Chain A
């Protein structure tokens, strides 16, 4: 299972990486904004992406829209401080499969990752 973490904060990438490690996922690539992520998805071919919303250069929503132009199936989870219902709807319309609001507990993030992978495997 290859996972791409997209967040401008190294702190948040490290926290998410440790949750992924606990779940047994160690093939993790990191990107610091949407543009960096787009440059890595081709070679890395992730099976799951965790995407922050507010990032410099290219934000997470723009990344999701760009990514979905060519990839309709890889699961995307938005992990963000944007908690308003309108934002969640906007992200889902753009193509995210699940949504995690920061701050989160490791248990919540684990649950959403497991749930998303299960749903997308069935679909």
Chain B
């Protein structure tokens, strides 16, 4: 996965957090994630399809997620409530949608978001798709954006070569 797939997500999380609730995001060094275990216990997940396929995850510790959702909505919710999940889902939806617009000349669609809560959950992604973890530091705590994407053409070429 090259930088052109990662940069839109870095720009997008900074744009979404600053525009919607004036929260600056400092980006750490992106790295390949070795395992499928969720980085934190709250995960907002979006599926990507079309000319690029894969999964985008916003993973947050419960406390950080709670503070961010409060800033975003102006209300305090229990972390196991539907309203909390809705807000986390909308965040990853905006981050993914905003990033998608930067993929020039690529027809890409995103799914409706899903939200998973709980310690030590795992998120299955397509086998063979590398996952890049982008550490993000905010005044509400450390969160991560996980980008597991590949070009659909590469998938077709691999299948053809294997046949």
Chain A contacts to B: CB under 8 angstroms:
8-12, 14-15, 18, 54-56, 80-84, 101-105
Contact = CB atoms under 8 A, between A and B. Distances in A.
B40 interface: no
Contact of A81 (B73, B75, B82, B93): B93
Nearest to B21: A103
B100 interface: yes
A14 B73 contact: yes
B73 A105 contact: no
10 contacts: A9-B93, A10-B82, A15-B73, A18-B74, A82-B97, A83-B98, A83-B101, A101-B98, A103-B19, A103-B20
Nearest to A15: B73
Interface string B48-65: 000000000000000000
Given A9-B93, A11-B73, A103-B15, A84 B86 contact: no
Interface residues of B, number: 23
A10 B20 CA distance: 15
- Say what secondary structure dominates the interface of chain B: helix
Nearest to B22: A105
- Say what secondary structure dominates the interface of chain A: loop
A102 B91 CA distance: 10
Contacts of B100: 81, 83-84
A12 B90 contact: yes
Interface in B68-97: 72-75, 82-83, 86-87, 89-90, 93-94, 96-97
Contact of B16 (A9, A10, A15, A103): A103
Given A10-B82, A83-B101, 11 more contacts: A9-B90, A9-B93, A11-B83, A11-B86, A11-B87, A12-B90, A54-B93, A54-B97, A81-B97, A83-B98, A84-B100
A35 B110 CA distance: 20
A47 B86 CA distance: 28
A103 B87 contact: no
Contacts of A104: 19
A84 B89 contact: no
B86 A81 contact: no
A103 B97 CA distance: 10
Contacts of A9: 86-87, 89-90, 93
